[in-house]
């Protein structure tokens, strides 16, 4: 689809693609999916991603995302990506005040929700989502990031191999031989200095470790859930105990009715 876009600066193109959640994060640094994300983001073509409600489609109930890709970004959007959470997950299922979807009176296969279009007494939720996108402002349902915020450097951390006497093995040049069993990996945000990260997070715990720079790769992933996560406090033990006792009482009454 990107290959079909107009390439002139005056017009350009904008495309919207419906995906499941997999393209946001599948594949590690250097893999095909990560390289595709890297190319799109580093070429400043990813304008926005909109998380949609689940159960929107007839043949599947999975959550979906709309990727908006363009080569004609407005000046204010250059170097930026907007994430919009229009999933409605923060609301109780079936809540009439949900700003992003309404429950259908009758399901169609796996489709149990729809986005209101303002007709037949339904709220105009399409307009709500569009206005959030057009406003391009930070808010409860909209987050704005730099392109680099989604990138990371994948470090391969090596440690020396030791023989049975506990001595470090070396190669012909006198360099320590890495032990593949002790090999580890670190993902360092692109905006963070790799050396500083290594000194702070790795060396205090593994003073004999080093970075194999020949294996260093750059990856990109979009952890949508993390950016919109809201902490929900756990229920108190008192509340849980009250519910358990109520269920036990209800169960006892049911058994008593059956026996009698």
Place of tokens 């429950």: 103
**pLDDT value, residue 66:** 97
For residues 80 and 44, the answer to whether their CB atoms sit within 8 Å is: no
Q: Looking at the structure, do residues 103 and 190 belong to the same domain, yes or no?
A: no
Same-domain status, 119 and 216: no
Q: Using CA atoms, how far apart are residues 119 and 108, in angstroms rounded to an integer?
A: 19
pLDDT for the residue numbered 231 = 76
pLDDT (mean) for 129-143: 96
Task: Say what the pLDDT of residue 9 is.
Answer: 67
Does some domain include residue 250?
no
Check if the beta carbon of residue 81 is closer than 8 Å to that of residue 41.
yes
- Once rounded to an integer, what is the mean pLDDT over residues 19-26? 94
Are both 41 and 110 inside the same structural domain? yes
What spatial distance separates the first Cα and last Cα of the chain, rounded to whole Å? 70
The model's pLDDT over 80-111, given as tens digits with 9 standing for 90+, comes to 999 999 999 888 776 778 899 999 889 999 99
Give me the mean pLDDT over the 102-122 stretch: 90
Question: Is the confidence at residue 41, as pLDDT, over 80?
Answer: yes
Asked if 92 and 174 sit in the same domain, the reply is no
d(CA 214, CA 158): 12
Give the chain's domain count: 2
14 within some domain: yes
One DSSP character per residue, 196-216 reads HHIIIIITTT-TT-EE-GGG-
Say whether 137 sits in a helix, a strand or coil: coil
Same domain for 111 and 6?
A: yes
Q: Which tokens belong to 159?
A: 């440690």
Whether residue 89 sits in one domain with residue 11? yes
Residues 143 and 158 in one domain: no
Q: How far is CA 123 from CA 96, 99, 103, 114, in A?
A: 10, 8, 12, 11
- Quick one: 27 and 140 in the same domain? yes
* 160 in the same domain as 142: no
Q: Which CATH number is 93's domain given?
A: 3.40.50.150
Strands (E), the chain: 14-19, 46-51, 65-70, 80-85, 102-108, 111-114, 142-146, 151-158, 184-189, 210-211, 217-220
Q: Residue 184 above 80 pLDDT?
A: yes
Going from the C-alpha of 63 to that of each of 22, 33, 88, 100, the distances in angstroms are 10, 19, 11, 13
Q: What's the whole-number average pLDDT of the chain?
A: 92
> Where in the sequence is the domain holding 57, given as residue range(s)?
2-148
Query: Which bin fits 12, alpha (ψ -120 to 50), beta or left (φ > 0)?
Result: left
CB atoms within 10 A of CB 206: 15
Question: Would you say residue 256 lies in a domain?
Answer: no
């Amino acid at each position: 689809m990107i290959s079909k876009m107009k390439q002139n600066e005056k017009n350009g193109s904008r495309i919207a693609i419906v995906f499941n959640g997999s393209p946001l994060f599948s594949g590690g640094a250097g893999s095909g999916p990560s390289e595709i994300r890297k190319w799109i983001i580093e070429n400043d073509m990813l304008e926005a991603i909109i998380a949609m409600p689940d159960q929107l489609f007839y043949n599947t109930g999975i959550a979906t995302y709309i990727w908006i890709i363009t080569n004609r970004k407005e000046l204010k959007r250059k170097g930026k990506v907007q994430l919009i959470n229009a999933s409605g997950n923060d609301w109780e299922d079936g809540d009439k005040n949900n700003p992003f979807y309404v429950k259908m009176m009758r399901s169609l296969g796996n489709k149990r929700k729809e986005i209101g279009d303002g007709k037949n007494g339904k709220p105009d939720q399409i307009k709500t989502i569009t206005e959030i996108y057009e406003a391009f402002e930070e808010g409860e349902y909209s987050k704005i990031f730099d392109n680099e915020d989604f990138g990371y450097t994948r470090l391969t951390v090596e440690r020396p191999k030791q023989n049975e006497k506990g001595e470090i093995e070396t190669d012909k040049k006198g360099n320590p031989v890495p032990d593949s069993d002790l090999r580890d990996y670190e993902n360092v945000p692109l905006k963070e200095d790799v050396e500083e990260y290594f000194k702070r997070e790795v060396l205090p715990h593994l003073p004999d470790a080093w970075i194999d720079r020949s294996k260093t790769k750059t990856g990109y992933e979009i952890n949508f859930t993390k950016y919109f996560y809201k902490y929900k406090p756990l229920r108190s033990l008192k509340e849980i105990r009250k519910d358990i006792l109520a269920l036990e009482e209800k169960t006892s009454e049911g058994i008593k009715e059956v026996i009698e």
